[in-house]
Amino acid sequence: MIKDTKILIIDDEAVIRDGCTKILTKEGWEAESVEDGLKGIERIKSKDFDLVLLDLMMPGLNGLEVINEVNKISSDIYIIVITGFATVETAVEAMKRGAYDYIPKPFTPDQLRVVVRKALENMALRKETEFLRKEQEKGLFAIAQEKSKIKTIVNCMPDGVLVIDKEKKIALYNPAASKLLNIRDKDSIGKLLDESIICTEFSDMVSEVLNLDSNKYTTIAGEILGVDSIPIIAHIAPVIMEDGEVLGAVTIIKDISEQKAIDKMKSDFISKVTHELKAPVATINQLLMAILDGAVGELEEKQRQMIDRAKLRGDGLLELISDLLNISKIESGLAIQRKQPLQISEVIDDVVDLLQPQADEKKISISISSIDNLPLINADKEGIREIFTNLISNGIKYTNVNGVIQIDGEINNEYIIISVSDNGIGISELDQLYIFQRFFRVKNSTTRQIIGTGLGLPIVKEIIDAHLGSINVESEPGKGSKFQVQLPRINN
Ligand code: ADP
């Protein structure tokens, strides 16, 4: 029940006023009284009463008039009328005007307590309901505010955000997405993605994510061309419910034209510098070679050792220069230009012939099987040569004396797969994550002596990507490595 209940008794009969005040005060309520309507109204204006016990028949302002006035002051005050004649009509009239209940005179203390208690209980319930309603309103307001906050944030993001449901309909997008993907209709929410944008690559990527096995949470990232051929990178992730159901896909789209321009400047610069370096370094190496061959007379052992070392470092530098040139060529899109039907065994046989002397030096045997009758691929011959030169020479570099390199071919549906396996030093699971990144080299006591640039495998990967193929590695330290290259075959 309401604490600190304040009750006002308005009655012209002193006995009733005093009696009621006593009874109600005994109950722990705060009660006071006045003898007429006008004084009552004045009191109500100056103090917050919860309940008014009001005599209907008083000289001056009568009870019904007092009810009207009280209602004007506050609709929260409960009024119980005291009816002298006990006529139902007057009571009904009072209730119509807003009184909560009535009590006929004469009444016993118990009757008074019951009727007041009932009113106070009702008041408490009403206040609680009101409190709950306000709380709920507050909650709804907070949710509405939260929603609009999120909407504002999403709309202000410089990157495009696009959410697609499992039926491939657009569920949400922001202005950046609309601009980058040229979403045609003003309101594309609820429309099929393919009706709203023309970008088959993007649409295929979305389908791939939506059809994913939900156990394999995968984010797909890919470069696509947006409006006005702006290069865009799209990251697409599935929206997965707790029960594993894929609800849709969320996409973040970023304009990478600036990054591309900077990358191009960087690779142009590298390509220019390395190009300028290549000729003098090659000349220095040739001169060192000539000295080693005795062009300036017989060398003492110490001189030979020093020039040998200089030549070795020169070779390393040339390798780095050629790798850097290759990378910048691939990046500028110049490397993979001449795709033609190619029998891969021709290239592999060539590469093996070329690398055979290096393998012989370490008594490493190279065997080739099942590659002669593989279907043709549509490929750039030099690019494919670069792939297998790198993989096989890595096999030789990272395999100990007397090792074995095995090259195998097989067909897998629309692809041919060439694997290059060795029984060399192997690569730890952790390092396998990084070997396709530029300049990454495994650093341990075994690899320290081996010269390399960390650019071979990134070049291999870029060329394979440009052929719409893939590469993967299986390896175990101390046992060996197997690199598998998958390339699309020509369909007859
Ligand atoms: P590098 O010029 O260093 O050989 P790569 O990009 O070709 O550069 O290879 C990156 C790293 O991957 C190498 O430094 C080496 O540690 C590891 N690696 C590559 N191929 C093999 C292999 N067949 N066996 C063991 N380690 C390898």
Rg (CA), the chain: 45
453 CA: nearest ligand 1 atom = 2
**pLDDT at 323 (0 to 100):** 86
User: What is the Cα 123 distance to its own chain's centre?
Assistant: 51
Q: Which residue has the tokens 């990378």?
A: 327
Q: Alpha carbon of 91 to those of 82, 84, 348: distances in Å?
A: 9, 10, 109
Please give the average per-residue pLDDT across 227-253, as a whole number. 86
Q: How far apart are CA 185 and CA 163, in angstroms?
A: 16
**pLDDT at 224 (0 to 100):** 87
**pLDDT at 447 (0 to 100):** 86
Residue 321 reports pLDDT greater than 60: yes
Confirm or reject: Cβ of 453 under 6 Å from ligand 1.
yes
- Exposure string of 218-231, with b = 16+ CB inside 10 Å and e = fewer, is eebeeebebbeebb
Pocket test for ligand 1, best of 320, 435, 436, 462 (most atoms within 8 A of CB): 435
Ranges 74-83, 121-130, 477-486, most confident:
477-486
pLDDT of 72-109, one tens digit each? 998 889 999 988 765 677 788 888 888 999 898 888 99
| Ligand 1: centre distance to CA 453 (Å) | 9
Choose the weakest-confidence range: 165-169, 190-194, 218-222, 280-284: 218-222
Q: Which of 111, 100, 107 is nearest to 52 (CA)?
A: 100
Pocket test for ligand 1, best of 315, 319, 420, 427 (most atoms within 8 A of CB): 427
Residue 448 reports pLDDT greater than 60: yes
**pLDDT at 89 (0 to 100):** 78
User: What is the Cα 401 distance to its own chain's centre?
Assistant: 49
**pLDDT at 395 (0 to 100):** 97
CA-proximal residue: ligand 1, atom 4 (nearest): 452
Q: Which of 220, 200, 201 is nearest to 210 (CA)?
A: 220
Query: Nearest 5°: CA angle at 468, between 484 and 378?
Result: 95
Q: How far apart are CA 478 and CA 398, in angstroms?
A: 11
Confirm or reject: Cβ of 403 under 6 Å from ligand 1.
no
CA-proximal residue: ligand 1, atom 21 (nearest): 394
**pLDDT at 227 (0 to 100):** 80
Q: Which residues contact 384 (CB under 8 A, 6 or more apart)?
A: 342, 344, 347, 377, 463, 467
Q: At 461, is the pLDDT very low, low, confident or very high (cuts 50, 70, 90)?
A: very high
Q: How far apart are CA 125 and CA 119, in angstroms?
A: 10
Please give the average per-residue pLDDT across 262-275, as a whole number. 82
Please give the average per-residue pLDDT across 9-19, as a whole number. 92
Sheet holding 480-488, edge to edge: 365-369, 404-412, 415-422, 480-488, 470-476
Confirm or reject: Cβ of 320 under 6 Å from ligand 1.
no
**Which of 214 and 449 is assigned the larger pLDDT?**
449
**pLDDT at 75 (0 to 100):** 86
| Ligand 1: centre distance to CA 431 (Å) | 10
pLDDT of 57-72, one tens digit each? 888 888 889 999 998 9
**pLDDT at 293 (0 to 100):** 93
Residue 362 reports pLDDT greater than 80: yes
**pLDDT at 243 (0 to 100):** 79
Confirm or reject: Cβ of 5 under 6 Å from ligand 1.
no
425 CA: nearest ligand 1 atom = 25
**pLDDT at 343 (0 to 100):** 95
424 CA: nearest ligand 1 atom = 24
| Ligand 1: centre distance to CA 426 (Å) | 9
Mean pLDDT of the chain: 89
CA-proximal residue: ligand 1, atom 19 (nearest): 394
Q: At 122, is the pLDDT very low, low, confident or very high (cuts 50, 70, 90)?
A: very high
| Ligand 1: centre distance to CA 50 (Å) | 86
pLDDT of 130-187, one tens digit each? 888 888 887 777 777 788 888 888 888 889 999 999 899 998 899 899 888 888 767 7
Q: Is 0.85 topped by the overall pTM?
A: no
* Residue 109: count of CB within 10 angstroms of its CB: 14
Q: Alpha carbon of 166 to those of 112, 171, 207, 243: distances in Å?
A: 67, 10, 9, 15
Q: How far apart are CA 210 and CA 188, in angstroms?
A: 19
Contact 462, 387 (CB under 8 A): no
59 φ/ψ angles, rounded to the nearest 5 degrees: -70, 155
| Ligand 1: centre distance to CA 365 (Å) | 19
| Ligand 1: centre distance to CA 286 (Å) | 27
422 CA: nearest ligand 1 atom = 23
Q: Which of 109, 42, 87 is nearest to 52 (CA)?
A: 42
| Ligand 1: centre distance to CA 141 (Å) | 60
Q: Is the dihedral of CA 465, 467, 470, 471 positive or negative?
A: negative
Residue 336 reports pLDDT greater than 80: no
**pLDDT at 335 (0 to 100):** 62
**pLDDT at 337 (0 to 100):** 61
Q: How far apart are CA 466 and CA 335, in angstroms?
A: 9
Beta strands in 120-203 (DSSP E): 160-165, 170-173
216 φ/ψ angles, rounded to the nearest 5 degrees: -100, 85
Contact 395, 480 (CB under 8 A): no
Please give the average per-residue pLDDT across 422-428, as a whole number. 96
Q: How far apart are CA 99 and CA 117, in angstroms?
A: 15
Confirm or reject: Cβ of 324 under 6 Å from ligand 1.
no
